[in-house]
Structure 1
């Protein structure tokens, strides 16, 4: 992983449970660890990697490894209020747990807003959200996620990329 993460210090890695694909990484430099965590999502060979801090008095195999930091873009939100964090937080919480908004973009010039969210990978990813406007209208907004591994836009599942459900696992189901 050193070739991918390019740390300033060294990284050691140990396999804790090969059946459950649990690994422990130790970073010499705290900045390296923060950069790896902030750089999520990471994937290797089309498998997503979930990170979490160890619990001081818990077992390594009990650490919840199903939450993932993602960047999501929500498109075509009204221009009014894009600089207001409350207006950005509301659609973010519809997706999952809102973490922060990307402050490097100029929301009034972009097509959408970019937000950081914490998402449980066992749940379906939404490709759109709905929001009620001040005038009472309900409008649907498209959502795109950055740097996902294999992902099915048909059903929202991470880990497969079905394109045709006639013979697949979701045949005869309304998506």
Structure 2
């Protein structure tokens, strides 16, 4: 189909082909549709997906699941609260592989969705307790992606054993293990990142679309050995 489209693109349109079709449809509000993509190179079984997610998501109303090919799935919800809750609790995974969810907007085509980002709650370990503030969480989180939230109290502090921040991350890049942070009188510190509800991860290259068995770095090392 792609080849036919590319070949036709260079042809001159006939008068019939050049005629426009005007659609008199009202502009609809965003529907209750999520488009998902499983971040894996392996084929995902749709029947298993539907069965497992209906059990895990525990939606009040049922939802429909449609296979879009290439490990992409459409979820059609009956109730907005169910859809919003599923999005709020991202990230999700299936069989240890990350499921990226995108809320489909009116006029948007599935083929144009990039599926390159998903939110993660990240624990920041190693900060001095009194530096576990909302401002610090925003500053560190901004180096990873778009900060959606910092888990802090009304005064802007998190006095637990670590600081939590929710960040929309670019998952086409390796995950960062931590950061060097200069904290004024405290000097230079190394802080560790721990990603909550992390799916599969390749510890050789840091990517989350495969494990060590499917890693090109691992294969290259085997060939060299």
Q: Is the 8 A contact 2:151 2:158 kept in 1?
A: no
**Secondary structure class of the residue paired with 2:221:** coil
Q: Go from structure 1 to structure 2 and tell me whether the alpha carbon gap of 1:141 and 1:169 turns closer, same or farther (over 3 Å shift).
A: farther
Q: Is the 8 A contact 2:127 2:189 kept in 1?
A: no
Aligned-pair distance for 1:154? 3.8
Give 2:24's aligned residue: none
Give me the TM-score of the superposition, normalised by structure 1: 0.83
Task: Structure 1 unaligned segments of length 5 or more: list them.
Answer: none
**Secondary structure class of the residue paired with 2:184:** coil
CA distance in 2 between counterparts of 1:12 and 1:3 reads 13
1:3 matched to 2:55? The reply is yes
Aligned-pair distance for 1:161? 3.3
Match of 1:71 among 113, 118, 121: 121
CA distance in 2 between counterparts of 1:114 and 1:97 reads 14
Structure number with larger C-alpha Rg:
2
Give me the TM-score of the superposition, normalised by structure 2: 0.66
Give 2:90's aligned residue: 40
Give 1:94's aligned residue: 143
Give 1:127's aligned residue: 177
Superposition misfits of 4+ residues, deviation over 6 angstroms: none
Would you say how many aligned residue pairs link Structure 1 and Structure 2?
Answer: 165
Give 1:118's aligned residue: 168
Q: Is the 8 A contact 1:52 1:64 kept in 2?
A: no
CA distance in 1 between counterparts of 2:173 and 2:208 reads 9
Aligned-pair distance for 1:126? 0.4
Aligned-pair distance for 1:130? 1.3
Aligned-pair distance for 1:162? 2.6
Q: Is the 8 A contact 1:55 1:63 kept in 2?
A: no
Query: Which structure's residues are more often helix, by fraction?
Result: 2
Q: Deviations over 1:76-126 (max 9, x none)?
A: 21222423x22210111122221101247x722x22111111112111100
Q: Go from structure 1 to structure 2 and tell me whether the alpha carbon gap of 1:102 and 1:153 turns closer, same or farther (over 3 Å shift).
A: farther
Give 1:14's aligned residue: 66
CA distance in 2 between counterparts of 1:74 and 1:136 reads 16
**Secondary structure class of the residue paired with 2:93:** strand
Q: Is the 8 A contact 1:67 1:119 kept in 2?
A: yes
Task: Structure 2 unaligned segments of length 5 or more: list them.
Answer: 1-52
Q: Is the 8 A contact 2:129 2:161 kept in 1?
A: no
Aligned-pair distance for 1:136? 7.7
